Amino acid sequence: MKRALISVSDKNGIVEFAKELENLGFEIVSTGGTFAKIKEAGIEALEISEVTKYPEMFDGRVKTLNPLIHGGILHRRNLESDVETAKKHGIIAIDLVCVNLYPFKETIEKTDDFDEIIENIDIGGPAMVRSSAKNFQDVVIITNPNRYDEVIEKLKSDLLDLDYRQNLMIEAFEHTASYDSMIANYMNKRFNSGFGEKQFVVGSKVKDTRYGENPHQKGSLYQFDNFFTENFKTVKGEASFNNITDINGAVKIASAFGNKPAVCIVKHGNPCGFAIKENLLDSYKEALKSDPISAYGGVVAINGTLDKDLAEEINKIFVEVIIAGKITEEAIAVFEKKKRIKLFIQNSKYLKISNDPYDFKHVEGGFVYQNSDKVENDEVQKSKLVSKKSATSQELKDLEIAYKLASLTKSNCVVYVKNSAIIAIGMGMTSRVDAAKCAIKKANDLGLDLNGSVLASEAFFPFRDSIDSASEVGVSAIIQPGGSIRDNEVIDSANEHNISLYLSGIRHFLH
C-alpha cells in the first residue's frame, strides 16, 4: 500500500483529492484541521501522532518534525542501505506529500499583532515540502491545489513520469522560496524600514511574451499579488513585451485623475497626447491633436468604457493597442476587421494601478531599490504661490494635469497644457532648456497655439532662461518644485512677464 501525507492550510478541494487518493489505494496520514476535515467526510486517515508516536507539542509548533515522517519521505528507494535503515527503524515510505503553508500573507494583512504573526510562520510545512522536493524521484510533491485533478488523472493513467515529477519539484521549491522571501521582506519592513541586507523580488508568471524587447530576446510577464490575473483581460490580440511596458505608462497617467474622463496616448513609453474633456470621445479628439504623427501605432488608455462612437473615432487611424476599463460589444465589432489592433480591459469602471509600495531598476551587476514615487492629489493645491499674479481656476486645473504628466514622464521633462489637454511635451532630454525648445518646435510644426498655456517641470529651473522662453510663447502659469539657488531670479522673471509661478517643493525625477 502506498502512503500519502496531507497537511494543508488552503483546504479548497482537499476532501475530493483525499477521496480520490483513498480510492486509488493510498493510506492517508494527516494533521490537525486537515485530518479533522477529511475524517468528517468519511475518509479513513491516520492522525500524524499515530505515526510519530508523539503528540503534537507546543501548541502545534512541533508535529511533523520527526524521523518517522522525514525518513519516510527522504530515504532513497533505489539505495539498499537506505531501504535497510528504514526497515531497521520501522520507517514506512511516504510516496505522496500534499502540503501548502500557514497563511502568513493573510495574517500580516489582517493584523499587526506580532505574536500572532510569529505563530503563522510555518516550520514543519516547508521542511516537508523541501524534503519531498529533494527526493522527487521517489515522492510526488503537490503544493498547488490547482494540480489536484491533474495529479489524480496521471496517477490513474500511470503517467507520473520523471519530467512531471521534476516540474512538481520546481514548483515546490518556488513555493518555499517565495514563502521565506515574503517573511524576510516583512521582517525587514517591520524592523529595517524595508531595506535589509537582502532584498527579495518575487513574482508569479502570467504568460510568456512572443519575445522580449527585440526578437532575439526571451520575455515573460510576472505579477505581484495576482494583479494582472485579476485586472488585465485580453479582448483581442496578444500583448507583446513592449506593449505591456507602454500600457503600464499609459495607464499610470490616465488613472492618475480618478474618475475623470481622461485619455492618454503613449508611444515608446512616453505620452504624446492627453486630455480631460466633458466625455471620453472629446478627450480622445483633443489628446490626438497634440501629436497625431506619434500617435500612429501607439497605445491608447481610456479611463472608462470604450463605446462604439469612440471606437469609430479611434479607428480612423492605426493604433496598436487600446486598454480601457471596459469595452462594449458594439465597440469590439468596430475593430473586428482590423487584424493588428489589440484590445485589453481591466474589467472595472475606471483604470487602476496596483500602487506597489516599492520600485526597483536593474543595473549591471544588481539593482537599485526604493520606495515608489507617488504624486499626491493635493500637491498642486498645496503648492506655494511665489509670484505676484495668481492662476485662474482653469489654469489651476491645467497646472494639475501638466504637473502629474511631468511627474510621470521621463526626465528631463516639460509639459505645456491648455484647456485640459496637452499642447506640447518634451521628455527624456539631457537639458531642460532643450526639452522646452523641442516641445515648442513640435507645437509650432503642428500649428498649435501655446498662448495661454501652462507649463510644468518635474524638477527646478536652474536659471531664469526657461521662464523667459516660456513667456515668448505666451505661457500664463508655471509649476515646478523650486529649490534652486537661483529661485529668486526665476521668480523675478515670472513677475517681469506677468506669469503665475507655483513651487510644489517636491521633485519627481523619473530616469
Nearest to 273 by CA among 291, 293, 258, 285: 291
Residue from 340, 352, 309 nearest 327 by CA: 309
Round to whole Å and give the CA distance between 87 and 451: 90
- In terms of Cα–Cα distance, which of 288, 238, 248, 290 is closest to 268? 248
CA angle 35, 39, 43 (to 5 degrees): 115
Buried-state track 65-99, b at ≥16 Cβ within 10 A, e below 16? ebebbbbbbbbeeeeeebeeebeeeebbebbbbbb
**CA atoms of 497 and 120, how far apart (whole Å):** 64
* Distance (Å, whole) CA 417 – CA 150: 56
Task: For residue 436, give the nearest of 406, 408, 407 by alpha carbon.
Answer: 406
DSSP state of 256: G
Q: Look up cell 468528517; give the residue.
A: 40
Residue whose entry in the numeric block shows the C-alpha cell 508516536: 53
Question: Choosing from 134, 260, 338, 352, which is the catalytic residue?
Answer: 134
* 318, HSE (Cβ side, Cα atoms, 13 Å): 8
How many alpha carbons fall within 13 Å on the CB side of residue 432? 20
Of 192, 218, 197, give the one whose Cα is nearest residue 207: 218
Q: Which three cell numbers stand for residue 417?
A: 497644457
* Alpha carbons 397 and 276: distance in angstroms, whole number: 10
- Residue pair 386/491 in contact by the 8 Å Cβ criterion: yes
> Does residue 288 contact residue 265 with C-beta atoms inside 8 Å?
yes
- The vertex-103 CA angle with 175 and 37, nearest 5°, equals 100
Asked if 5 and 69 touch (Cβ cutoff 8 Å), the reply is: yes
SS3 per-residue string spanning 138-190: CCEEECCHHHHHHHHHHHHHCCCCHHHHHHHHHHHHHHHHHHHHHHHHHHHHH
Active-site position among 2, 39, 268, 437:
268
511 catalytic residue (yes or no):
no
E-assigned strands of 63-108?
96-100
Is the Cβ–Cβ distance between 123 and 102 less than 8 Å? no
Say how many residues make up the chain: 511
Q: Is 134 a catalytic residue?
A: yes
β-pairing, 233-236 vs 219-223, is: unpaired
Q: How many CA atoms lie within 13 A of 258 on its CB side?
A: 7
**Nearest by Cα to 3 from 166, 171, 140, 101:** 140
Q: Which residues are catalytic?
A: 134, 268
